[in-house]
Amino acid sequence: MDRARQADYDRSLNTLASHGIVPGTIVIDDKWQQDYATCRPDTEKWPDMAGWIRKRQDAGQQVLLWHLAWDTEGAPPEACIRDHTGQPVALDPESPAGRKLIQQAARSMIGELGPKGSK
């Protein structure tokens, strides 16, 4: 989780390139986002994620974003399925708040950041 940082990806990709290896697809892995439920980048780890993705795609590489689709981190309780104690356990796509949050997260992740997809 702690390695999903722009600087780490740049360092790894530069090392590969120095050996003549240029990956065609790059997956930005777990915990690039500030909160799982919102899919907004953690700007301390990724100061310009959209620009980074655009630069890689302009160079002919595809970028995918890792997505933990059901996690409740950053979600309001009304957007979640809860257990018998009231603790959130998963996003609730059946609730209006859950649907809205999922749609906003997809727009943020795919629409604003511009990867080719998610994993």
Domain range enclosing 37: 6-118
In a domain, 24, yes or no: yes
- 18 found inside a domain: yes
Structural domain contains residue 27: yes
Query: Other CB atoms closer than 10 Å to residue 55's CB: what's the count?
Result: 12
pLDDT tens digits along 18-71: 999 999 999 999 999 999 999 999 999 999 999 999 999 999 999 999 999 899
118: left (phi over 0), alpha (psi -120 to 50) or beta: beta
Into how many domains does the chain fold?
A: 1
On whether residue 94 sits in a domain, the answer given is: yes
For the whole model, what pTM was predicted? 0.89
